Chains A and B, each alone.
Chain A
């Protein structure tokens, strides 16, 4: 065991690879060597510091909560001659990698915008055959994505358990298929006790829906005379938003990354992204890997955040 540790310290590069099979002879178990960066060795703190130093990032300026908008799967597939489902699958693989990296960098919360209410809106039914075929294609795609998300949740349970990630699924539950609801509930129950990292999957979520549902909850409370309308202020409304599961400290994302060159917010985390640094990149989501992520984090660390006030010199 000590000899293998010595090997690890002398030849760290052997671990920076997805192909772990060549180190099978060391007798290390599969789960401990999946990560590309230097983690999973003795002393988590040392590993984190080393990983940060290698990538040129500073631990004290790391964002606590990162939000990701996964955009560009379809375009990526088209560019490479794959089918759209394959593009979404590649997106799922990229997502797992980014979640692992976030844990390695010590980012406590990651919110992922998987599927919005707007994606559910299909063009109005018309007698035009091309519109009808578009509708059927969109329906199939929507069903496929739902099924993919369910599969992703189930397949990545090992990652969630290993890294102590608490999973939350937010969004309009009435629009999700029953099997996805079950998978989400199971994942939430199994990871309820974890508190180190948080992963929020926003499925069938829309910022406006979130605010309106918080508004409705408060309305029922006002109706039941539990509170007066004058008591409602920003923190109370914020407390009823779906992302409140993270509490006050982590509730708002520090950094919001949007891939595939789209310069819009698209109704994601409206309220919570009031002071987030926005980072837009032209890379399509399946190509968004470690290098791109480090670039985004470096850009975040170089920004001066003032929150409306002047920085005291």
Chain B
């Protein structure tokens, strides 16, 4: 990708309307791009993460700090999301997951929830347009979570975006919305039961027809079964989990998948999370990498 990448400065202008407006041209931008590429080439000498997960915390605090309207904090957060998606793409990080909305967040003030839903609908529809950032990167977008809980327009937009990008082969962006790790696990459990029931039913029918489908021994439910039914099936586990704004909690995000992930909690608020923060995260990951690999090799995923 030449020169058309963003050079998003840490203080994002909250008046920008579309993500495409972040693209700047000019000598300074080209120089910044060149520097960025050099830096990425240098850190690529070490092990690079394949999957980074972000808990995008701090939008409201950002809005309060900068004395802008509450809703605008989330808008700025969205631009930071696109910027980080582009940086990850440049670095060669294939998978990126973000925690956009939790099922617990529905308990917030209804007006705030409403404005968040409107924002999401608007942004998803923008991304659906041709020539959007997603198109340029050939990015595949997944929505993980219990989509039934969303209101109709948002759900339809999300499903449309998933369908239109299903065949893309570029970086994979997984948006967790609305998501709770505990409900993901319960969902996987009920799907495993449904699968087992079908299997038993087929066997029963097979027996009735006089054929034994197998000798009647059923393997017990295992980790692999649950893995297959998680929303993240097919996606590798996150290598790094970054929670911005300094809080050290997982808040019910990817509990099952983050066993060996490196947890980081930089103090920067999400809209402030820029390229230098990302580089620092990767460097910390590279520092801890030998130990992480050793533990991963010693452990097996199956029980």
Provide 7 A-B residue pairs closer than 8 Å at the C-beta atoms, listed in order of the A residue: A118-B298, A118-B299, A208-B259, A215-B221, A273-B250, A274-B181, A279-B248
| B260 at the A interface (CB under 8 A) | yes
Which listed residue (A266, A271, A275) contacts B185, Cβ 8 A?
A271
| A295 at the B interface (CB under 8 A) | no
| B28 at the A interface (CB under 8 A) | no
Stretch at the interface among A81-89, A162-170, A303-311: A303-311
Q: How far is the CB of B98 from chain A (nearest CB, A)?
A: 16
Given contact pairs A206-B303, A215-B221, A229 touches B197 in the complex (Cβ within 8 A): yes
Enumerate chain B residues within 8 angstroms of A309, measured Cβ to Cβ. Answer: 104-105, 107-108
Instruction: Please tell me if the beta carbons of B248 and A237 are within 8 angstroms of each other in the complex.
Output: no
Residue from A209, A215, A238, A278 with most neighbouring chain B CB atoms (10 Å): A215
| Contact residues on A (Cβ < 8 Å of other chain), bracket | 35 or more
How many angstroms from the CA of A310 to the CA of B250 in the assembled complex?
Answer: 16
| A277 at the B interface (CB under 8 A) | yes
Instruction: Please tell me if the beta carbons of A215 and B258 are within 8 angstroms of each other in the complex.
Output: no
Instruction: Please tell me if the beta carbons of B299 and A275 are within 8 angstroms of each other in the complex.
Output: no
| A263 at the B interface (CB under 8 A) | yes
| A294 at the B interface (CB under 8 A) | no
Enumerate chain A residues within 8 angstroms of B137, measured Cβ to Cβ. Answer: none
Given contact pairs A263-B262, A266-B260, A308-B102, A274 touches B186 in the complex (Cβ within 8 A): no
Which 6 residue pairs across A and B have the least CB separation, nearest first?
Answer: A308-B104, A118-B299, A274-B252, A278-B248, A267-B259, A229-B193
Which listed residue (A206, A229, A305) contacts B190, Cβ 8 A?
A229
| Contact residues on B (Cβ < 8 Å of other chain), bracket | 35 or more
Instruction: Please tell me if the beta carbons of A212 and B252 are within 8 angstroms of each other in the complex.
Output: no
Instruction: Please tell me if the beta carbons of B221 and A216 are within 8 angstroms of each other in the complex.
Output: yes
| B160 at the A interface (CB under 8 A) | no
Given contact pairs A117-B303, A266-B259, A280 touches B248 in the complex (Cβ within 8 A): yes
Instruction: Please tell me if the beta carbons of A278 and B263 are within 8 angstroms of each other in the complex.
Output: yes
How many angstroms from the CA of A276 to the CA of B249 in the assembled complex?
Answer: 6
| B201 at the A interface (CB under 8 A) | no
| Segment 186-213 of A: residues with Cβ below 8 Å from B | 206-209, 211-212
Using CB atoms, name the residue of chain B closest to A266: B259
Instruction: Please tell me if the beta carbons of A263 and B112 are within 8 angstroms of each other in the complex.
Output: no
Which listed residue (A229, A238, A267, A275) contacts B249, Cβ 8 A?
A275
How many angstroms from the CA of A241 to the CA of B226 in the assembled complex?
Answer: 16
Enumerate chain B residues within 8 angstroms of A307, measured Cβ to Cβ. Answer: 104, 251
How many angstroms from the CA of A207 to the CA of B103 in the assembled complex?
Answer: 22
How many angstroms from the CA of A280 to the CA of B288 in the assembled complex?
Answer: 14
| A232 at the B interface (CB under 8 A) | yes
Q: How far is the CB of A117 from chain B (nearest CB, A)?
A: 7
Q: How far is the CB of B59 from chain A (nearest CB, A)?
A: 12
Instruction: Please tell me if the beta carbons of A271 and B182 are within 8 angstroms of each other in the complex.
Output: yes
Instruction: Please tell me if the beta carbons of A264 and B263 are within 8 angstroms of each other in the complex.
Output: yes
| A123 at the B interface (CB under 8 A) | yes
Enumerate chain B residues within 8 angstroms of A118, measured Cβ to Cβ. Answer: 295, 298-299
Using CB atoms, name the residue of chain B closest to A258: B263
Instruction: Please tell me if the beta carbons of B251 and A212 are within 8 angstroms of each other in the complex.
Output: no
Q: How far is the CB of A226 from chain B (nearest CB, A)?
A: 13
How many angstroms from the CA of A303 to the CA of B259 in the assembled complex?
Answer: 24
| B289 at the A interface (CB under 8 A) | no
Given contact pairs A118-B298, A279-B248, A309-B108, A216 touches B261 in the complex (Cβ within 8 A): no
| B194 at the A interface (CB under 8 A) | yes
Q: How far is the CB of A274 from chain B (nearest CB, A)?
A: 4
How many angstroms from the CA of A211 to the CA of B108 in the assembled complex?
Answer: 29
Supply 19 further A-B pairs (C-beta < 8 A) apart from A276-B250, A307-B104, A308-B108: A117-B299, A117-B303, A208-B226, A212-B303, A229-B193, A229-B194, A263-B263, A263-B288, A270-B259, A271-B182, A273-B250, A274-B250, A276-B249, A278-B263, A280-B248, A280-B263, A307-B251, A308-B102, A310-B109
| A66 at the B interface (CB under 8 A) | no
Instruction: Please tell me if the beta carbons of B223 and A212 are within 8 angstroms of each other in the complex.
Output: yes
Using CB atoms, name the residue of chain B closest to A218: B189
Instruction: Please tell me if the beta carbons of B185 and A211 are within 8 angstroms of each other in the complex.
Output: yes
